[in-house]
Amino acid sequence: MYEYSLEVDASGLNCPLPLLRLKKALMEAQSGDVIKITATDPAAHLDIGVYVNQTGHQLLELTRQANIQVFFIRKK
């Protein structure tokens, strides 16, 4: 578990809304801030993973419990 500056609850939202919520949070965050995002969309790890890789942010951790995914992402 990481300390985080912003938390995004995208539970119950389907693609592309979890990614859009993450993008909005990243716009508000400062460089080095950690964002926690919780999603229930089964494809969220694909969308968020590709986005993080393409934009240079850092995926610190991804955990899955049942149908809940929790991401910790550090803004570049």
- What is the set of active-site residues? 15
Give the burial class of 59: count Cβ atoms within 10 A of its Cβ; 0-12 exposed, 13-18 middle, 19 or more buried: middle
Tell me how far apart the terminal alpha carbons of the chain are, to the nearest angstrom: 19
Tokens of 32: 């080095």
